[in-house]
Amino acid sequence: MILRNQFGRTGHASTRIIFGAYALSKATQAEADRILNMLLECGVNHIDTAPMYGNAEKCIGSWMEQHRDDFFLATKCRKRTYKGAWEDLRRSLSRLRVDYVDLWQLHGLTNPAGWGRVMGPEGALEAFVEARDRGLVRFLGVTGHGSKVPAMHKRSLERFDFDTVLLPYNYLMMQNPRYAADFNELVGLCRKRNVAVQTIKSIARRPWGSRPKTSNTYFYEPLETQDAIDRSVHWSLGFPDSFLITAGDMQLLPKMLDAANRFEKRPSDIEMSAILDEFDIQPIFS
């Protein structure tokens, strides 16, 4: 059984594994419907999507007429201006076929220049607050990729009281002293404020480099064996009160759900070090 926990201050008891809808970016509706049945069977009750995830919002929209109450629904916005953010939200609501989303997130907010535009006059944050006040979104969050994300999220939380953060987290990244220190400092702030922490990149193996892509995952080549996925997912879930977003590949989803369903405790450093060597796991961000 996949455990549930309070998703920060939202009042929602989310499954500790969240469906990452990038997996639907190239999906047909028939493929997406098969994924929906899998989520319902496993009890997953939280979906994370974005307008730039190809077919994802459109596929999910076809589920919402019958299943809106079954899922906490999150989407994102990459636009940095007030006008652009509103355009994104209206498009997302239309494609998702809903009157509101539970969580709207500023996507990839890690560049200082973009951060300044978002937070400044006529920036996207003004649209976020207005959309919340109008009941079109319930909660607001911030996401990011890369090694600078924890520090930038802390800066964002110091500027505005976001409800959620989303950032990379896996065993190898946390062996980087600087990243680990920034991550732990961010988590300390999130715990004080009851901000939900969502993690990504749990099963990252290495950058794609020149190798042909054999998976739909965008940033990285993933781990694919059940044992390696088990250990990586269990290690990430070993961070209390966090929520793990699944990798963006339909073929990997059943393995990640299976791993989450069997989670009991975090693997040891010895176990995790062994898969670093066995699978040549490398940093995916500089």
Q: Report the CATH number at residue 161.
A: 3.20.20.100
The whole-number pLDDT of residue 167 equals 98
Instruction: Please check whether residue 286 lies inside any domain of the structure.
Output: no
Confidence at residue 252, expressed as pLDDT on a 0 to 100 scale: 97
For residue 284, tell me if it sits in a domain.
no
Contact in structure between 46 and 52 (CB atoms under 8 Å): no
Determine, yes or no, domain membership for 283: no
Q: Please choose, from the candidates 16, 15, 7, 49, the residue with its C-alpha nearest in 3D space to the C-alpha of residue 32.
A: 49
Residue 173's nearest CA partner among 132, 196, 208, 145 is 145
Q: What pLDDT sits at residue 251?
A: 95
Cα–Cα distance measured from residue 71 to residue 107, given in angstroms and rounded to the nearest whole number: 21
Rg (CA), the chain: 18
User: Is residue 78 assigned to a domain?
Assistant: yes
Does pTM top 0.85 for this prediction?
yes
Tell me the C-alpha distance between 247 and 239, whole Å: 18
Is 197 among the domain residues?
yes
Inter-residue contact 263 to 244 (CB < 8 Å): no
Residue 212 has a pLDDT of 73
Any domain includes 285: no
φ/ψ of residue 135, rounded to 5: 80, 15
Residue 192 placed within a domain: yes
Q: What is the pLDDT of residue 218?
A: 76
Between helices 56-67 and 82-96, what is the axis angle to 10°? Answer: 60
Of 244, 258, 61, give the one whose Cα is nearest residue 169.
244
How confident is the model at residue 209, as a pLDDT? Answer: 77
Q: How far apart are CA 125 and CA 86, in angstroms?
A: 10
User: What is the pLDDT, as a whole number, of residue 208?
Assistant: 85
Both structure tokens of 5? 């926990």
Separation between Cα atoms, residue 269 and residue 259, nearest integer Å: 18
Q: Is residue 113 part of a domain?
A: yes
Give me the number of domains the chain comprises: 1
Q: Where in the sequence is the domain holding 147, given as residue range(s)?
A: 4-278
Q: Are 47 and 73 in contact (CB under 8 A)?
A: yes
Q: What is the mean pLDDT of each run of 10 residues along the chain (286 residues)?
A: 96 98 97 97 98 97 96 98 98 98 97 96 98 98 96 98 98 97 98 98 90 78 96 97 96 98 97 96 91
pLDDT of residue 210: 67
